[in-house]
Amino acid sequence: MATDRRKGLLGIHWAWVVLGTCFITLFVNYSVRIGAYPILLPEMIKDLHLTKAQAGLIKSAFAITYLVFAPIMGWLTDRVGGRKVISFFCLILGGGTFLMGHAKSLLASAIFFGIVGLGAAAMWVPSATLIQKWFGTNKRGLALGILNASAGTGFGLMGLFLPLIVVEYNWRFGWFILGIAGLFLFLLDGVLLRDRPEDMGLSPWGGKLGEAREKDIPKRAGYLQILKQRQFWIVGISYLLVAYASYALLDFIVTYGKMELNIPYRVASLFITVAAFTGIPGGILIMILSGYIGMKRSLGLTYTLVALSILFIIFSGNNVVLLIVGVAWFGILYGGIFPLVAACARDHFPKEITGTVLGLLTIFYGLGAMASPIVTGHLADVTGTFRWSFGLGACVSLVSGFLIGFLKKAKEFEESED
């Protein structure tokens, strides 16, 4: 019997299996990189006797390895496939996270979180690349919006779960549990992920019959061709700035609430949960909106409103209700940043090099994420408050929105050998 090119196992298109598997993978990934760090940080600062600047160095160690290896992961995904890349590096992600529970000094914490950054570098870009291969042109925005919800679900639940672990045991158990979850992903991804729909005799879900085989010979572009594109630099620099602004707030919002505003730890931890859970519908709604007003306007509007949400949080003082409103506002916008950039890369460059482009753009993201915790923590130590640090983040986010105004339609790449 001939294979139905629109169906997968038991009538379920395998695109949804791939999406579900990537969702779980990114759920654990973001639970570690965004959820665990800010929530466990106040206890780590107290237990390891760290300054805020030193605490920022731990996150910067993560960002450095992420920055160095993310472009390689994009390139590697285009050549050996996302299944192998994601599966293997889940071992590194899980192992580094488990080791964080054993950290007894600043140096050890930085080294172990740097290992986590190496593993995390192979999560988002390969997953986003896989999803865009498995879903048709008109369904990619929906699929990326659903995938992005994994981030909000992951670090959102950490705001509820990890404080209970800290109170009942200590902060080290939080890292141990997440490390074991990361190691489990090696088996899950290896069994369920597939690189291309045509390998299973399928077309992309929501795509035209044969869409997966548009060309027999892949169209490739070298790094120099990509770097010559003006729009690449506009998207990249604005991505750097908004990443800096976002992590200035996310990395220290719990510490800000607990140590500066004297808000109870469990309440301050809920800021992460609020930002995460509002980001789930936020990412989907912003992607839907982008289909009506265009990618350029969506990016510019989102980056600008991120700045305004941070300013609102600053001026909320220690009013918990207003802080929650501001964090929810920020979360809605934050949820749309990553799928917008992924879709922008897919729209402006040939589909065969989406992973490479996303990997290169992640360099800018990594630079912003690396600089943000150091500058934010140091400025807080010097001024005695996080308000100036958050204000700087708001300013650079405004600049990122301004830069998007110069984004123009991409030019076609000339076919060349890599």
Q: Is the pLDDT of residue 353 over 70?
A: no
pLDDT in the model for residue 350: 62
Alpha helices in 31-51 (DSSP H): 37-48
8 Å CB contact between 159 and 265: no
8 Å CB contact between 387 and 312: no
Type of residue numbered 177: I
Q: Is the pLDDT of residue 312 over 90?
A: yes
What is the count of structural domains for the chain?
1
Kindly state the tokens that stand for 167.
Answer: 């109170």
Calpha distance 97→268 (Å, rounded): 23
353 or 281: which carries more pLDDT confidence?
281
Percent of the chain with pLDDT over 90: 28
Q: How much is the average pLDDT of 89-108?
A: 92
pLDDT in the model for residue 208: 59
Contacts (Cβ under 8 Å, ≥6 apart) of 289: 298
Q: Nearest-CA neighbor of 130 among 28, 186, 71, 204?
A: 204
Percent of the chain with pLDDT over 70: 87
pLDDT confidence band for 397 (50 / 70 / 90): very high
Phi-psi region at 262: left, alpha or beta (left = phi > 0; alpha = psi -120 to 50): left
**Structural domain includes residue 321:** yes
pLDDT in the model for residue 214: 43
pLDDT confidence band for 347 (50 / 70 / 90): low
Most confident of 87-91, 293-297, 362-366: 87-91
Check the CA dihedral 180-184-189-190 and report its sign. positive
**Structural domain includes residue 78:** yes
Q: How much is the average pLDDT of 97-122?
A: 92
**Structural domain includes residue 216:** no
Q: Lowest mean pLDDT: which of 5-14, 206-215, 387-396?
A: 206-215
Taking only the tens place, the pLDDT of each residue in 207-224 is 655 454 444 334 455 667
4 or 126: which carries more pLDDT confidence?
126
Q: Nearest-CA neighbor of 177 among 192, 164, 196, 190?
A: 164
8 Å CB contact between 382 and 86: no
Calpha distance 292→301 (Å, rounded): 13
Q: Is the pLDDT of residue 197 over 70?
A: yes
Taking only the tens place, the pLDDT of each residue in 29-48 is 988 887 788 888 888 988 99
Q: Nearest-CA neighbor of 113 among 104, 122, 123, 103?
A: 103
Q: Is the pLDDT of residue 71 over 50?
A: yes
pLDDT in the model for residue 409: 57
**Structural domain includes residue 415:** no
pTM: 0.72
Q: Is the pLDDT of residue 359 over 80?
A: no
Q: Lowest mean pLDDT: which of 181-190, 313-322, 343-352?
A: 343-352
Q: How much is the average pLDDT of 189-196?
A: 83
**Structural domain includes residue 236:** yes
Kindly state the tokens that stand for 368.
Answer: 């912003």
Calpha distance 100→218 (Å, rounded): 42
Calpha distance 316→307 (Å, rounded): 14
Alpha helices in 294-319 (DSSP H): 295-315
First-to-last CA distance in the chain? 40
Calpha distance 46→258 (Å, rounded): 12
pLDDT in the model for residue 415: 44
For residue 6, the 8-state DSSP code is: T
CATH code (residue 145)? 1.20.1250.20
**Structural domain includes residue 39:** yes
Q: Is the pLDDT of residue 363 over 60?
A: yes
Contacts (Cβ under 8 Å, ≥6 apart) of 354: 78, 128, 129, 132, 345, 346
Q: Is the pLDDT of residue 1 over 60?
A: no
pLDDT confidence band for 100 (50 / 70 / 90): very high
Calpha distance 242→299 (Å, rounded): 10
Secondary structure of residue 85 in the 3-state scheme: helix
Segment (H or E) for 82: helix 82-100
Taking only the tens place, the pLDDT of each residue in 242-297 is 999 998 998 889 889 988 999 998 888 889 889 888 888 887 788 788 778 877 78
Place of tokens 């934010």: 376
Contacts (Cβ under 8 Å, ≥6 apart) of 33: 62, 116, 117, 120
**Structural domain includes residue 1:** no
Provide the mean pLDDT of the chain.
Answer: 82
Domain that holds residue 19: 11-200+221-404
**Structural domain includes residue 107:** yes
Calpha distance 128→83 (Å, rounded): 12
Kindly state the tokens that stand for 394.
Answer: 């708001």
Place of tokens 């986003």: 128
Place of tokens 């405004």: 398
